[in-house]
Amino acid sequence: RLGQAESENLMPHDLINSKPISSAIREFFGSSQLSQFMDQTNPLSEITHKRRVSALGPGGLTRERAGFEVRDVHPTHYGRVCPIETPEGPNIGLINSLALYAHLNEYGFLETPYRKVTDGKVTDQIDYLSAIEEGRYVIAQANASVDEATGELTDELVSAREAGETMMVTPDRIQYMDVAPSQIVSVAASLIPFLEHDDANRALMGSNMQRQAVPCLRPEKPVVGTGIERTCAVDSGTTVQAERGGVVDYVDAGRIVIRVNDDEAVAGEVGVDIYNLIKYTRSNQNTNINQRPIVKMGDKVSRGDVLADGASTDLGELALGQN
């Protein structure tokens, strides 16, 4: 039996044996080849690690057995797997990155979006096609010239592809069109300005090295960007976004208080949103995670606006280096 003095000084870890729980968790997360410790050096490395596609692991290939054919870029990678971003070592071509707009369908196949074209007119309808379905259609490039008003393809002959073959066809033969020129590459590769003017090997090194950038003390957003910096910063979750629109009531280094707009407030609730910021926390790679408010008292904000910058972001844009 515990004495009075002893029971007063008890800590939770004296009463509970956490070994069985922690060993079960450690075994669950540590036993699989594909369970990895998240790369958290900067927001880009985090988002890239989550979008990785691997041919290794249980039920997959081994490095020794995989030949050249498996590692090579294939026509069906178009819009699904990035042809650029892959490791340089023995894993080249076995570990890939998901392309910008790719997503998984219910059967686990990668699909990529295309704009529907009917009678030479580009519509707003977007269809996701798997590699097998894509082979049945004639697909134009994203930069084919289109009349803004009517949506018609203006050129007499349009560069298109069918079943992996490239050709020039008349607009009436085209059935689909790419969504964006960047749809063939990954997030990291699409951050490189003028990617089309770079040698593929150097672009591969560039997209791999961006992931190793240590967060700056004073981040600077790039003077020359590609337009995906904001999406990348926001989707990585490193910034703080307004859940509802309103007016900033109070700001300090640790929290932001927003008085919600009347039309967005829920009846019977206090119409105030409080955002507590993360201050000087350690990341998995021992880099610094710190959120800084970028709004002032009295500012009007809308839903989705960036309220605070995180690590390696400047005014809600990804900022990996200095200009």
- pLDDT tens per residue across all 323 residues of the chain: 556 667 778 888 788 888 888 888 888 888 888 888 888 899 999 999 999 999 998 888 988 888 899 999 998 999 999 999 999 999 999 999 999 999 999 999 999 999 999 988 899 999 999 999 998 999 999 888 888 888 888 888 999 998 888 999 998 899 999 999 999 999 999 999 999 999 999 999 999 999 999 999 899 989 999 999 999 999 998 999 998 889 999 999 999 999 988 887 777 788 888 999 999 999 898 998 999 999 999 899 999 899 999 999 999 899 998 98
The rounded distance, in Å, linking the Cα atoms of 278 and 281 is 7
- Token pair 């949103």 is at which residue? 273
The tally of domains found in the chain comes to: 2
Q: Is residue 90 part of a domain?
A: no
Residues 231 and 175 in one domain: no
User: Final residue of a domain: which of 179, 203, 227?
Assistant: 179
Amino acid 250: pLDDT: 92
Considering 159, 179, 199, which residue would you say is the last residue of a domain? 179
Residue 115: CATH number of its domain: 2.30.150.10
Residues across the chain: 323
Residue 2 lies in a domain: no
Cβ contacts of 272 within 8 Å, gap of 6 or more: 249, 257, 258, 259, 260
**Residue 102 in domain:** no
What is the Cα–Cα distance from 190 to 227, expressed in whole angstroms? 9
Domain assignment present for residue 265? The answer is: yes
Residue type, 281: T
From residue 104, how far is each of 53, 54, 107, 279, 319 by CA, in Å? 12, 14, 8, 36, 29
Q: What pLDDT sits at residue 66? A: 86
Show the domain range for 313: 215-318
Whether the CB-CB separation of 170 and 132 falls below 8 Å is answered with no
pLDDT at position 180, please? 92
The alpha-helical segments, DSSP class H, found in the chain are 4-8, 12-15, 19-30, 43-50, 68-71, 131-134, 187-190, 200-210, 229-235
Q: Which of 313, 166, 94 is nearest to 158 (CA)?
A: 166
